[in-house]
Amino acid sequence: MDVKRLILIVKVLKKSIEMPKARVKFKLFYTVLSLLYVPTTFGTTGNPENVSIWGPGLEAHHIIMPARYFFVDVPDYKVQSDNFEVVIQGETALKKPCRIWSNILDRKNGSFIVRYKVYETCSNIKISVKLGNKHVAKSPYVIDQIVYSDDCFCPKKDIPEILKTWHCEAIPPQITKNLKEFQTIDWDIERPKVIKQFNQPTSVSLCHYVIKNNEIYRKCYGKYVGFNMFSDAILLSVARKAKLPDLEFFVNLGDWPLSTKNLKEKYPILSWCGSTDSYDIIMPTYELTESALENMGRVMLDMLSVQGNVENIWDKRESKLFWRGRDSNRHRLELINLSRKYPELINASLTNFFFYRDEEIVYGPKSEHISFFKFFDYKYQLAIDGTVAPYRTPFLLVGGSLVFKPHSKYFEYFYEQLEPHIHYVPVKTDLSDLKEKIIWAKDHDQEAKIIAQNGQNFANNHLLPEHVFCYYFHVLNELGKVIKSEVRVLEDMELVSQKKNVCNCLEDNIKQEL
Ligand SMILES: *[C@@H]1O[C@H](CO)[C@@H](O)[C@H](O)[C@H]1NC(C)=O
Ligand SMILES: *[C@@H]1O[C@H](CO)[C@@H](O)[C@H](O)[C@H]1NC(C)=O
Ligand SMILES: *[C@@H]1O[C@H](CO)[C@@H](O)[C@H](O)[C@H]1NC(C)=O
């Protein structure tokens, strides 16, 4: 039992809670700035001059995303959301107001996430952020360059440039680790081998992609290839943003990694989920990818919306572990047993029976669907595997509850950077120590809260839409470096086309006119 170690680490950590990086930078900058600034006080309500505003949404001209967003932190200010106002305006080429939709997510601790969607090419975007009718920080922010909607197909920069303008972090360790196994890829040799090995239509769903001159081509293998909508969507999206190198690769549409260590050779295949016994090159899960692409769109649950829709005050959350999900893993049944044995610690039930249908009598009845946001009425969450790693982990982390994570051979693209006892509490695969770890958390509420906050900060620094895009830019960029064969579109591939491009890639035209 390493609860003692846990306490020790938490004690050390207490002094160094992970701070959101961008915010620290801004604060330093702000300190310098505030020397020149005559502060206006807000009476007893706090110091609006300490407001920090940062985020990719302030650089909408070169950070193009489906939903732009930025953060506003108002320390010590008893904020009433009706006192807080954001107006975002811009104009079209014809000098008409352009269509922009924005919304504010209130994190209820004086911190807001502002999101906005740009529906057409805009210029002179002006972002005003006001508290009690006064501009705060450096508001209004004016973007005097062309801002494209995310639908525009106007790639101008190559990936290395994009990585810089997006402020992407260095190559994530998972990519380095994966590509160590594939220092050079000659597809003329590998391609037939991959197809021969994995063309098993009933059990494998795999797509072969070629990117040539920023156009996407593919051929899929398998009976169920509907999930190619996710890989298509992200590839089309990055191709709209960056000039991609010519590339060839395979994407595994299934959950289980394919290039397992029991096979005679290693195959460079991109997968949503990794495992310690396979060589697949990991990318963000389709769930997280989709939530980045459909932010302020079709998807309700995303890494930002969670933060504005949950009970955000730790002390108001109930000190229990809450879990809902389907029966996709035997250990989940153990969880149901534990929850019955210790109802004062665990509230868990299954929402669907599929894998263990015969045992519904024992582990049922299945419970009603409950909104994911309601999970955070509780302090403790469990990231327990289903068929593979639980794709909800990023959402659990960002919700600000304490995440307990059973040991597992499966992992997502960011686990390499996630640290036990710092960002989450590890538990045994069979959950045999879950009870005592929950009791530890109940008895050490401050320590538990710190780990929960660290987990949330980690998510805000590594798992938001900007980071998901950065990860894809990096993966494609690094793949480009190791592919040694000539990239050509094969005869039986089909073009995955962009939506009709209604955008005039203005800047280029203007430059040409000059
Ligand atoms: C408010 O909570 C968020 C997480 O929800 C955190 O990142 C932020 O730093 C907090 N802001 C303040 C002003 O305490
Ligand atoms: C759950 O408890 C029942 C009754 O004690 C036991 O028979 C069953 O094996 C347990 N299930 C699991 C998955 O451990
Ligand atoms: C478990 O949680 C659900 C949903 O919040 C609630 O309706 C139910 O009463 C809880 N069960 C127990 C035993 O607390």
Task: Report pLDDT digits (tens) over 312-354.
Answer: 899 999 999 999 999 999 999 999 999 999 999 999 999 999 9
pLDDT score, position 490: 96
Of 241, 258, 292, which one is at a domain's C-terminal end? Answer: 292
Contacts of 82 (CB under 8 A, 6+ apart): none
What mean pLDDT value characterizes the chain?
89
Residue 452 lies in a domain: yes
Whether residue 10 is found in the same domain as residue 59: no
Ligand nearest to the CA of 329: 2
Whether residue 242 is found in the same domain as residue 351: no
Domain that holds residue 10: 3-37
pLDDT score, position 213: 96
367 lines ligand 3 (CB under 6 A): no
Of 89, 124, 143, which one is at a domain's C-terminal end? Answer: 143
Show the CA angle centred on residue 215, arms to residues 209 and 220, nearest 5°: 25
Beta strands in 32-82 (DSSP E): 52-54, 68-73
Question: What number is the average pLDDT over the span 156-185?
Answer: 97
Whether residue 125 is found in the same domain as residue 33: no
pLDDT score, position 11: 36
Whether residue 410 is found in the same domain as residue 347: yes
Give 483's DSSP letter.
B
Question: What number is the average pLDDT over the span 270-295?
Answer: 97
Whether residue 107 is found in the same domain as residue 179: no
Residue 332 lies in a domain: yes
| Kind of pairing between the strands at 247-252 and 269-271 | parallel
pLDDT score, position 485: 97
pLDDT score, position 341: 98
Contacts of 58 (CB under 8 A, 6+ apart): 70, 127, 141, 143
Ligand nearest to the CA of 50: 1
pLDDT at 288 over 60: yes
Distance between CA atoms of residues 434 and 446, nearest Å: 19
Distance between CA atoms of residues 412 and 278, nearest Å: 13
Give 252's DSSP letter.
E
pLDDT score, position 508: 54
| Inter-residue contact 440 to 3 (CB < 8 Å) | yes
Show the CA angle centred on residue 300, arms to residues 347 and 238, nearest 5°: 125
Per-residue pLDDT reduced to its tens digit, 247-272: 999 999 999 999 999 999 999 999 99
Mutate to test the pocket of ligand 3, among 310, 341, 347 (most ligand atoms within 8 A of CB): 347
Residue 242 lies in a domain: yes
Distance between CA atoms of residues 244 and 247, nearest Å: 8
Whether residue 248 is found in the same domain as residue 310: no
Query: Higher model confidence: residue 122 or residue 514?
Result: 122
Q: What CATH number has the domain bearing residue 66?
A: 2.60.40.10
Nearest ligand 3 atom to the CA of 374 is 5
pLDDT at 234 over 70: yes
433 lines ligand 2 (CB under 6 A): no
Q: What confidence category does residue 75 fall into, taking pLDDT thresholds of 50, 70 and 90?
A: confident
In the chain, the largest separation of any two C-alpha atoms, in whole Å, equals: 76
Whether residue 310 is found in the same domain as residue 459: yes
Nearest ligand 1 atom to the CA of 460 is 7
Q: Could you tell me the CA-to-CA distances from 501 to 107, 156, 240, 328 in Å, in that order? A: 37, 15, 10, 42
Whether residue 327 is found in the same domain as residue 449: yes
Residue 168 lies in a domain: no
Of 425, 444, 463, which one is at a domain's C-terminal end? Answer: 463
Whether residue 407 is found in the same domain as residue 352: yes
Whether residue 431 is found in the same domain as residue 329: yes
Residue 482 lies in a domain: no
| Total number of domains constituting the chain | 4
Query: Higher model confidence: residue 5 or residue 314?
Result: 314
- 370 C-alpha to ligand 3 centroid (Å): 11
Whether residue 458 is found in the same domain as residue 315: yes
Contacts of 381 (CB under 8 A, 6+ apart): 321, 322, 323, 375, 396, 399, 401, 402, 403, 404
| Inter-residue contact 354 to 413 (CB < 8 Å) | no
Distance between CA atoms of residues 449 and 395, nearest Å: 17
Residue 509 lies in a domain: no
Beta strands in 213-338 (DSSP E): 215-221, 242-243, 247-252, 269-271, 274-275, 281-282, 318-326
pLDDT at 28 over 50: no
Whether residue 138 is found in the same domain as residue 191: no
Q: Which amino acid is at 326?
A: R
pLDDT score, position 48: 63
Q: Could you tell me the CA-to-CA distances from 53 to 19, 25, 65, 151 in Å, in that order? A: 15, 11, 18, 27
Residue 166 lies in a domain: no
Residue 313 lies in a domain: yes
Distance between CA atoms of residues 433 and 436, nearest Å: 6
The sign of the torsion formed by the CA atoms of 369, 316, 306, 287 equals negative
Q: What CATH number has the domain bearing residue 421?
A: 3.40.50.2000
pLDDT at 424 over 60: yes
What the block records as the tokens of 26 is: 């801004």
Which range, of 293-297, 421-425, 507-511, averages the lowest pLDDT?
507-511
pLDDT score, position 44: 37
